[in-house]
């Protein structure tokens, strides 16, 4: 896993120049001819996807958006090695967007912060990106003022008191340096130039602008921690601008998570290269194109849930049952047992068993393979669509 760390001046001196150290920084350049076909294909699929989602009806579109945003938040955090509870993320998003969703659960402070940042980026995509807005995102990501056990500067640009900002991997004593960020005394000027470019009028295609903004921000690396998540939020904001819509039906973060190794490799190569970012833009476009494929899985899940609730419209369920059925329909990890039900629903095992038996009589659940202590329960065949 990549992490941020400081290294000695001697080690730092051995590192080759980075793009931000070049005289022509940040005059990015790329080959439009090499990117034209990829960009046209992505823009075509983007337009078709928006048109398709507008045709499926409000309730299904709302559920698709809820699943997409949930996946985006979870996967963006997992890229950094942080694992969030899916139901907490889903519940937080639904509450903030005013969606009428059954089985909502309370969300912890760290979940609320990540969701707040992502929704601010995508739902208020047209509002200017400013340093104060970025400070707010950063504060939302680190509500306790700590990253793990370490105290960090929150809601402000990083300093260099502990040495230069490094991205390294490997065990302590045998670290491999992947990147060294600009010195702290450059950050005010670097970020002013970046934000002016983001909000300035230029002739760059909005999808390419999303890719450049992601690269540029993470290369500046202005915060003590959270730079990757904020860079992806900025890209999501730019993609929403490219579509003129706050509705999200694909997750770039989920696709980056699936291709995390390639993502780090192309990022490192670009940051150690010259200012020709054609390979980075090509990779970003290809990754975005593959992200659209994930919409098919989301739609399949949405239609499956809609079919289930239509078939069980007359089935009475209490709040615990509604919440658990929603978990099973969305994607339950492992096998459902009475003990898991009791733990998740915060009830006794006797109550959990009664809830399960009622759903078995209603044709919602059946016993899975195994018995005794291995007894588990699954959705009845056909009940999930």
| List of residues 6+ apart from 58 with CB closer than 8 A | none
**Whether 359 contacts 325, CB under 8 Å:** yes
Q: 286 among the known binding-site residues?
A: no
Give the closest residue to 219 by CA, choosing from 17, 38, 32: 17
Neighbours of 273 (CB within 10 A): 15
Q: 232 among the known binding-site residues?
A: yes
Q: 231 among the known binding-site residues?
A: yes
CA dihedral sign of residues 116, 192, 217, 214: positive
Q: 226 among the known binding-site residues?
A: yes
Q: 229 among the known binding-site residues?
A: yes
Helices 58-79 and 86-96 pack at an angle, to 10 degrees, of 130
Give the closest residue to 302 by CA, choosing from 104, 30, 65, 120: 65
Q: 125 among the known binding-site residues?
A: no
Q: Cis ω on the peptide bond leading into residue 26 (within 30° of 0)?
A: yes
The structure tokens listed for 214 are: 């992601």
The structure tokens listed for 291 are: 């992200």
Residue 20: active-site member: no
CA–CA separation, 291 vs 288, rounded Å?
5
Residue from 44, 83, 221, 312 carrying the catalytic annotation: 221
Q: 264 among the known binding-site residues?
A: yes
Which residues belong to the annotated binding site?
A: 225-232, 263-264
Which residues belong to the annotated binding site for ATP?
A: 225-232, 263-264
What positions carry a catalytic annotation? Answer: 221
């Amino acid at each position: 896993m990549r992490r941020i760390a400081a290294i000695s001046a001697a080690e730092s001196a051995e590192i080759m120049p980075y793009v931000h150290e070049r005289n022509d920084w940040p005059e990015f350049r790329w080959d439009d001819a090499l990117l034209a076909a990829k960009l046209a294909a992505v823009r075509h699929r983007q337009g078709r996807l928006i048109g398709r989602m507008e045709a499926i009806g409000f309730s299904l579109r709302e559920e698709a958006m809820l699943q997409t945003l949930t996946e985006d938040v979870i996967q963006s955090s997992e890229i950094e090695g942080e694992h969030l509870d899916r139901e907490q993320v889903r519940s937080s998003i639904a509450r903030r967007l005013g969606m009428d969703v059954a089985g909502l659960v309370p969300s912890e402070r760290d979940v609320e912060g990540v969701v707040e940042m992502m929704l601010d980026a995508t739902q208020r995509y047209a509002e200017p990106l400013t340093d104060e807005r970025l400070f707010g995102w950063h504060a939302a990501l680190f509500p306790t003022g700590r990253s793990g056990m370490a105290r960090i500067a929150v809601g402000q640009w990083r300093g260099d008191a502990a040495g230069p900002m490094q991205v390294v991997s490997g065990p302590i004593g045998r670290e491999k340096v992947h990147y060294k960020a600009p010195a702290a005394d450059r950050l005010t000027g670097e970020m002013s130039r970046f934000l002016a470019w983001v909000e300035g009028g230029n002739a760059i295609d909005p999808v390419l602008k999303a890719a450049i903004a992601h690269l540029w921000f993470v290369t500046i690396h202005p915060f003590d921690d959270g730079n990757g998540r904020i860079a992806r939020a900025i890209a999501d904001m730019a993609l929403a601008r490219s579509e003129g819509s706050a509705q999200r039906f694909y997750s770039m973060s989920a696709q980056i998570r699936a291709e995390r190794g390639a993502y780090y490799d192309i990022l490192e190569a670009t940051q150690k290269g010259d200012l020709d970012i054609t390979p980075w833009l090509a990779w970003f476009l290809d990754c975005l194109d593959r992200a659209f494929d994930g919409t098919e899985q989301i739609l399949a899940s949405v239609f499956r849930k809609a079919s289930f609730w239509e078939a069980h419209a007359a089935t009475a369920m209490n709040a615990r049952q509604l919440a658990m059925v929603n978990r099973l329909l969305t994607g339950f990890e492992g096998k459902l047992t009475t003990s898991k039900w009791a733990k998740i629903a915060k009830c006794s095992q006797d109550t959990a068993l009664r809830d399960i038996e009622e759903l078995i009589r209603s044709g919602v659940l059946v016993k899975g393979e195994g018995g005794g202590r291995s007894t588990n329960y699954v959705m009845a065949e056909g009940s999930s669509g």
